[in-house]
Every structure is written in C-alpha cells, then in structure tokens.
Amino acid sequence: MENANLNINIEQTTAIKCDECGNEHFHEVLYMRKLSAILSPTGQPAVIPIPVFACTQCNHVNDEFKPKELK
C-alpha cells in the first residue's frame, strides 16, 4: 500500500483522550497472548504480541484501541 500525502488541517481533527484520566498522550504497549501447540500451525506453542496504545499517565487502554475480541 502506498503512503498517500493527505492535506489535512490538524484543527479539523479531534483529540483522543484517555477514558480514565483525560490525558491526550499515549505510548505503544503489547498485549501478550499464548497459543497452544494444538492450535498452532507449527505444532509448537507460540506467543503472539498484539500492539495497542496505553495512556502515558495512567496506563489505561481505551476500548477503541483494543482488538474487538479483547474488549
């Protein structure tokens, strides 16, 4: 997929805030999930990292950042 150069004025966007504390800054963190050997395509247990964004102030992860299966 190509990167499209979008001409968007930042003033036309809406800030996303932490649902818990209202902070507007986030960092990437990982949910770690285990996959049993029985379900793994390799026949070996696996660890699956799932990137999400957590609040830099309270570490809360808003539902909108979670995969729908983990909400």
For 27-53, write each residue's pLDDT tens digit.
999 999 999 999 999 999 999 999 999
Give the count of domains, the chain: 1
Which of the four pLDDT bands, split at 50, 70 and 90, describes residue 1? very low
- What's the Cα-to-Cα distance from 67 to each of 8, 16, 50, 60, rounded to whole Å? 27, 17, 8, 15
Domain assignment of residue 9, yes or no: no
Domain assignment of residue 3, yes or no: no
pLDDT of amino acid 7:
86
Domain assignment of residue 6, yes or no: no
What's this model's pTM, rounded to 2 decimal places?
0.79
Say how many C-beta atoms besides its own lie within 10 A of residue 26's C-beta: 20
Domain assignment of residue 50, yes or no: yes
- Residue 48: partners with Cβ closer than 8 Å, 6 or more residues away: 32, 33, 34, 35
Between 55 and 70, the more confident residue is: 55
Domain assignment of residue 55, yes or no: yes
Residue 5 pLDDT exceeds 80 = no
Domain assignment of residue 11, yes or no: no
Domain assignment of residue 38, yes or no: yes
Domain that holds residue 46: 16-70
Region 15-36: mean pLDDT is 98
Domain assignment of residue 52, yes or no: yes
| Contact indicator for 69, 43 with CB cutoff of 8 Å | no
